[in-house]
Amino acid sequence: MLKADKVRHIIAILEDLYPETPIPLDHKDPYTLLVAVVLSAQCTDERVNQITPLLFARADNPYDMVKLSVEEIKDIIRPCGLSPMKSKGIYGLSEIIINKHNGEVPSTFEELEALPAVGHKTASVVMSQAIGYPAFPVDTHIHRLAYRWGLSTGKSVEQTEKDLKRLTPKDLWNKLHLQIIFFGREYCPARGHNPETCPICSIHGRKNMKR
């Protein structure tokens, strides 16, 4: 099977299983999504969704966030892990959004990636899900599945993003990255995975894939 045919078939499977793709992180606007994505680093979406209501009850906009101290933010977000770094990042990005962007989350990769605690993947999530700009956020799960399905070499997250963008239609990127995440959680986990029963790996997985 040609790679283009493989990609079309994988997309069809994902669309059949996940026609709707709600954003896993609870939020109400670009700012609260940005903060939630920062908190999600090395933390589950479920844990983030338990903590953000507590944080956003105190501060759901950059103006209220900078009224809190870094220490207060850290105490609230501690269960998400990496709280010293994340609290400084959330406070710092809030200051910059106020001082440089009139209180609004910027809408370019360059401006987003200039914010503290915001890397390319975080910026990609905000651009795709809050701004509506075509982007393909690649986290470790998508990176793993793209290699498992033979769509990328697995050399780096950056290379995987390039490969997936090259192989898939641009107008599907914002939905497709969520579909892959949902599929990985339900059918294609890192551990305890059976390629023979996986709807995609049973057809398109690498031959040397291990259970």
Q: How far is CA 105 from the centre of its chain?
A: 17
Q: Name, in order, each residue with C-beta under 8 angstroms of 141's C-beta and a sequence gap of 6 or more.
A: 180, 181, 184, 185, 190
- Is-catalytic flag, 100? no
- Coil, strand or helix at 114: coil
What's the rounded Cα separation, in Å, for the pair 106 and 131?
9
Choice among 121, 155, 165, 207 that is catalytic: 121
Calculate the alpha carbon distances from 149 to 7, 25, 171 in Å: 9, 26, 21
What's the rounded Cα separation, in Å, for the pair 53 and 60?
9
Residue type, position 95, single letter: E
Choice among 74, 86, 139, 163 that is catalytic: 139
- Is-catalytic flag, 163? no
Q: Which residues are catalytic?
A: 121, 139
